[in-house]
Structure 1
Amino acid sequence: MVEIDLDTKIKFLHGFSHKTRIQILDCIKEKEKTVSQIVNDLQGNQSNISQHLACLKGCGLIVGRQDGKFVYYRVRNQLVHDLLTMFDVVLEDVQNDVACCEQYID
Structure 2
Amino acid sequence: MKIKLIHGFSNKTRIQILECIKDEEKTVSQIVEEIKGNQSNISQHLACLKGCGIIIGRNEGKYIFYSLRNQHIRDLLTMFDVVLEDVENDVACCERHID
TM interval, short-chain normalised = over 0.9
In structure 2, the gaps of 5 or more residues are: none
Identity of paired residues, percent?
Answer: 74
Larger radius of gyration: 1
| Displacement over 6 Å in runs of 4+ | none
* 1:20 paired residue number: 13
Aligned length: 99
Tell me the TM-score normalised to structure 2 length: 0.96
SS for the counterpart of 1:33 is coil
Cα offset for 1:57? 0.5
- Distance in 2, matches of 1:74 and 1:95, equals 28
Name structure 1 gaps, 5 residues minimum. 1-7
Deviations 1:30-82 (A, max 9, x none): 11000000000011110000000000001111000000000000000000000
Matching of residue 48 in structure 1 with residue 33 in structure 2: no
**TM-score in terms of structure 1 length:** 0.90
CA distance in structure 2 between the partners assigned to 1:92 and 1:104 by the alignment: 16
CA distance in 1, matches of 2:19, 2:98: 22
